[in-house]
Structure 1
Amino acid sequence: MSLINRVIFVACVLFTFVSGKQCSYPYRALGSNCYYFSTDKASWDEAYVNCFHKGGYLANLETLHEYLIMRYKLAGMKNGQHYAIGGRDMNRGIKGGDWRWVRNGRVTRMSYFAFSPGEPSGTKASPELCLWLLSNHQYQFADVPCNSVARYVCEK
C-alpha cells in the first residue's frame, strides 16, 4: 500500500469513527452521514423509490471525501456485490455524459469523477445512464443500463 493510500485509509477510518452521528434504523452512521445498505436487488428506478419509502434517497457521494469513505466501507464488506447510487447521466448526447446527483427531485452537477478505466462506456445506441459502484473495479464509478439490477445504498 502506497503512502498516499495509507494516509487516505487512516483519514477515512478516523473520520468514520469520530463523527458521532446518530442514525435511525435501518440507517447507520458512516462519516458524517447516515446510510442504508440494501441486501435486495433492484433497478435504479426501483432503488430510487425504495430509498424514498425508507425516508431517504439514493446515496449522493457529493464530495471526494464522502466517496472515499464509502469505497473503503464497501470494500471492507467483502461481499462482491455491486451497488447503485444516486448518479444519473442527464444527456447521453454529450460525450462522457452530463452526470448529476439526483436527490428528492433536484439534480446537482457532479464536482468530481471516479470512473473506472474505460468508463463511462454507454453510447446513444446502447445507453448506460445510471451509476453503480462495481465490486470488481474496487468500487469505482461505472455507468450501467438503468434496468440492470444491483444492491443499492440509500442516504438520509
Structure 2
Amino acid sequence: MRMEKAVIFLYLCIVFSAKRCSYSYRALGSRCYYFSTDTATWDEAYVNCIHKGGYLANLETLDEYLTMRYKLAGMKNGQNYSIGGRDFNRQVKDGDWRWVKASQNSKMAYFAFGPAEPTGTKGSPELCIWLHASYQYQFIDIPCTTVARYICEK
C-alpha cells in the first residue's frame, strides 16, 4: 500500500509540473526549460529566449546545474548549449561570472567549469558560457559570437 501511494504521488508531481510549463517549455526540477534545435550566437540566443517569454537558462544552484547536466547527458545528442552565464569583467583573473536575466544579473554562487577552464584572455576574450557535450556538460567559456543550441528558462 505504501508503494502504491508513492507511485501515485510521483505521477501527480509529474503531471502537475508538466502542466505548469507552457508549450515548447518542459518541466525539469522546479523550473521550465526550452531546448532549442536551432543555433545562434549568445546575443541572438538571449533575444530568442525573450521572444519565447523567458531568458537564457540561469542555473543558479548546484542542484539546478546537476539536474540539467543529467538531462542533457540523457538526451545523447552530443550538442553544446549556450546558457545565461557571462563574464562581466575580463580584467579580473578568472573573470567576474554572472547569471544574466532580463535587466538584472547575479554573481555565480558556484563554478562548474571543465578542465583548464575558463581560458579566455584580454587579447582573446571568451565571455560567454556553454554546457559542452565533450566535457560531460561542464561549463566552458567561449567567444560570444560562436553559435550553438541554447536553453531558455522561465
Alignment TM-score > 0.5, same fold: yes
User: How many residue pairs get matched?
Assistant: 141
Q: Which residue of 1 aligns with 2:41?
A: 43
1:109 aligns with 2:102: no
**Amino acid in the other structure paired with 2:81:** Y
Specify every segment of 5 or more residues in structure 2 that has no aligned partner in the other structure, as ranges. Answer: 1-9
Structure-2 separation of matches of 1:105 and 1:148: 23
Which residue identity does 2:54 align to in structure 1? G
After TM superposition, the structure 1 = structure 2 runs for residues 1-156 of structure 1, keeping only pairs within 5 Å, are 18=13, 20-21=16-17, 22-156=20-154
Q: 1: CA distance between counterparts of 2:92 and 2:13?
A: 41
| Deviation readout 1:19-65 (Å, 9 max, x if unpaired) | 64220011010000000000000000000000000000000000000
* C-alpha distance in structure 2 between counterparts of 1:142 and 1:81, whole Å: 13
- Aligned partner of 2:4 in structure 1 is none
TM-score by length of 2: 0.89
Is the radius of gyration larger for structure 1 or structure 2?
2
CA distance in 2, matches of 1:104, 1:57: 7
Extract unaligned runs of 5+ from structure 1.
1-14
Q: Which letter does structure 2 place at the counterpart of 1:140?
A: Q
Q: Whole-Å Cα distance in 2 between the matches of residues 82 and 71 of structure 1?
A: 11
Percent of paired sites with the same residue: 70
What's the counterpart of residue 7 of structure 1? none
Give secondary structure in 1 for the equivalent of 2:74: helix
Q: Which amino acid aligns with 1:101?
A: W
- What is the TM-score when the length of structure 1 is the normalising length? 0.88
Task: Tell me the distance in 1 between the aligned counterparts of 2:85 and 2:13.
Answer: 27
In angstroms, what is the RMSD of aligned CA positions?
1.3
